[in-house]
Amino acid sequence: MNWYITKIVFQVIFAGRDQVAEFDEQLRVIAAHSKEEAFKKAQQLGISEEGSIVNINNSRLIHWKFINVSTLYQLKELLDGAEICSSSYKPDCAATYIDMVHKKAAHIQNNDTLEILQLV
């Protein structure tokens, strides 16, 4: 069995609201025997998680539409400190972005709870 990192892309559609297109990119871990099996499992996961919810603040429908799998990497081995994913950002304000990163780090450091991704 091999382990893969995949990026599954959804379009987020807000009913009754004109907006710029919004997308949700999710990194997922997939166990599979081959690249083809991992890709198919990732697509099936995306399809199975398409759906709609009602926004509790304004009672409007929010729909996640599965687009496709945009990334698939096989993990050869897990090494301490190995890079899993990298993204580059060009924020409008570098100082605001840096401040946000520091606040997130402080929250992780000062929070007594361990955040665990639970797949349901």
Rounded CA-CA distance 68/52 in Å is 17
The pLDDT of residue 120 is 42
Residue 21 exposure: Cα atoms within 13 Å on the Cβ side: 6
Q: The whole model's pTM is what? A: 0.67
113 inside domain: no
103 inside domain: no
| The total number of structural domains that make up the chain | 1
12 inside domain: yes
97 inside domain: no
Rounded CA-CA distance 107/120 in Å is 25
The pLDDT of residue 69 is 94
Q: What is the dihedral of CA 80, 85, 89, 93, to 10 degrees?
A: -40
Both tokens assigned to 100: 């946000």
Q: Give the residue, 97 or 111, on which the prediction is more confident.
A: 97
Residue 42: exposed, middle, or buried by beta-carbon count in 10 A (0-12, 13-18, 19+)?
A: buried
95 inside domain: no
Contact assessment for residue 75 and residue 4, using Cβ atoms and an 8 Å cutoff? yes
Instruction: Please tell me whether residue 60 adopts helix, strand or coil conformation.
Output: coil
22 inside domain: yes
Using one digit for the tens of pLDDT, what is the confidence trace for 40-96?
999 999 999 998 888 777 777 888 899 999 999 888 877 777 777 666 667 788 788
pLDDT of 119 higher than 90? no
67 inside domain: yes
Structural domain range at position 42: 1-76
39 inside domain: yes
